[in-house]
């Protein structure tokens, strides 16, 4: 995709702070990090989002994500990390190229997880039934 910023980074047309690269994946620092060491991991094969990504590319992305997450933990001395992906605009996806975020976490970084809600058991059963029916 010639208009995709991540494809341009992969092609070397736009610089990045690369932390890892192999034949199938690339990992680099996010230019607007949540915490120091926040990295993005993506497939060199363009896909719009998680739902469009071939399984073989997802496997490669996850192997690289694990490898880079271990390095991020060591380099930043983080106490943990979040792996995050935004899929589609409603979920906050800004760049339409599948990518995972590795966000190092620190005990006192003041980041909060999203709010959680409770559902009645009947609602839980109904949505579980719908999801089961839709699983391919």
| pLDDT one-digit tens code per residue, 98-132 | 999 999 999 999 998 888 999 999 999 999 999 99
% pLDDT > 70, the chain:
99
Task: Specify the 3-state DSSP secondary structure of 8.
Answer: helix
Asked if 99 is an active-site residue, the reply is yes
Task: Specify the 3-state DSSP secondary structure of 84.
Answer: strand
pLDDT, residue 6, reads 98
Catalytic residue among 46, 99, 101, 117: 99
- Hey, CA dihedral for 43, 44, 49, 52, is it positive or negative? negative
pTM, rounded to two decimals: 0.92
Structural domain of residue 17, as residue ranges? 5-111
Question: How would you label 61-100 residue by residue, b for 16+ Cβ within 10 Å and e otherwise?
Answer: beebbebbbebbbeebebeebeeebbeeeeeebebbbbbb
DSSP state of 131: H
Domain presence at residue 96: yes
Domain presence at residue 125: no
| pLDDT one-digit tens code per residue, 24-43 | 999 999 999 999 999 999 99
Look at the chain and report how many structural domains it folds into.
1
Domain presence at residue 72: yes
CATH number of the domain residue 73 falls in:
3.30.428.10
pLDDT, residue 34, reads 96
Contacts 24+ apart (CB under 8 A), 28-34: 30/101, 34/101, 34/103, 34/111
- The whole-number average pLDDT for the span 70-74 is 98
Domain presence at residue 26: yes
| pLDDT one-digit tens code per residue, 93-104 | 999 999 999 999
Domain presence at residue 10: yes
CB of 61 closer than 8 Å to CB of 25 = yes
């Amino acid at each position: 995709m010639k208009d995709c910023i991540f494809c341009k980074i992969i092609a070397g047309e736009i610089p990045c702070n690369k932390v890892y690269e192999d034949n199938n994946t690339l990992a680099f620092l996010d230019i607007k990090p949540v915490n120091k060491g926040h990295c993005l991991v993506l497939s060199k094969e363009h896909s719009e989002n998680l739902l469009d990504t071939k399984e073989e590319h997802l496997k490669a992305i996850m192997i690289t994500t694990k490898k880079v997450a271990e390095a991020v933990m060591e380099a930043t001395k983080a106490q943990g990390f979040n792996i995050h992906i935004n899929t589609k605009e409603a979920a906050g996806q800004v760049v339409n190229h599948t990518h995972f975020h590795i966000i190092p976490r620190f005990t006192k970084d003041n980041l909060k997880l999203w709010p959680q809600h409770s559902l009645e058991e009947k609602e839980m059963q109904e949505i579980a039934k719908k999801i089961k029916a839709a699983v391919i």
